[in-house]
Amino acid sequence: MDIELLSATKSFGGWLKRYKHRSRVLNCDMIFAIYLPPAAEEKKVPLLWWLSGLTCTDENFMQKAGAQRMAAELGIAIACPDTSPRGSDLPGEHDSYDFGSGAGFYVNATRSPWSQHYRMYDYVTNELPALVNRHFPLNGRESISGHSMGGHGALICALKNPGRYRSVSAFAPITHPSQCPWGEKAFSGYLGEDREAWKAWDSCELIRQHGSELPLLVDQGEADNFYTDGQLLPEDLQAACQEAGVKLELRMQPGYDHSYFFIASFIDDHLKYHAEKLK
């Protein structure tokens, strides 16, 4: 077996399981989580990918979002990868929360030494999907969502792979990373100083260049300190979508911050949205 079961917990009639495997793409051992609804015991089910944000692991969403009840009702599996390679111990990898460990930004690094391990885009779009489809009762229909850095990841995965996902949504995504401090730091480290190369990993730039066949659903808390600090830039995403004629439902939520309390408040809306597209 190429995956090792670490834990299995029953939840709303389904099973939340965590697995360890060796990633050839990332050149390290990785852990991922998957929630299998009760329906998965009788038939193959659709899958929602969830990409988490800075500092998170596979566990944050599964423990804090409260998604299992609705996923069980809708018959949707949810897979949560980790947010970066683990155990490579590169120089400076653990020095800050927004670069290196826990902060892979879902790009394929081209700058040494990060390019030896930090290829999270290939991991979440190719290697891990092949693994989960080999081991679990999935029907091949996939959607993708995420939060913050993971919202950025969900958007670029959908935009760079037309026809791959049935739907895409995001909570407080980093929409224009080439123009915000988090993205500038990460892209400089992983990709080098050529800002033209950054555009291939920037949702706003991808939309301007190629548009999107999929509509976008985005929730953003108005009391989110990272929104007010200029890290997330939903107004840039809105402008890019208007310019390219892409349908965007941007829901500004008064009083909500960047936390999992925000995600838990609206996760059912997103699950129902994806379930409709996954039918």
d(CA 80, CA 63): 11
Chain-centroid distance, C-alpha 245: 24
Instruction: Count helices and strands (H / E) in the chain.
Output: 11, 9
DSSP string, 206-241: HHHHH--SS-EEEEEETT-HHHHTTSS-HHHHHHHH
117, 147, 258, 274: the active-site residue = 258
Query: Residue 145 catalytic?
Result: no
Write the secondary structure of 13-70 as one string of H (helix), E (strand) and C (coil). Answer: CEEEEEEEEEECCCCEEEEEEEEECHHHHCCCEEEEEEECCCCCCCHHHHHHCCCHHH
Q: Which of 58, 202, 224, 236 is catalytic?
A: 224
Distance CA 149, CA 104 (A): 9
- Residue 258's contacts (CB-CB under 8 Å, 6 or more residues apart) are 148, 172, 221, 224, 225, 226, 227
CB 139 within 8 A of CB 37: no
Amino acid letter, 59: E
Q: Which residue out of 101, 148, 203, 212 is catalytically annotated?
A: 148
Residues with a catalytic annotation lie at 148, 224, 258
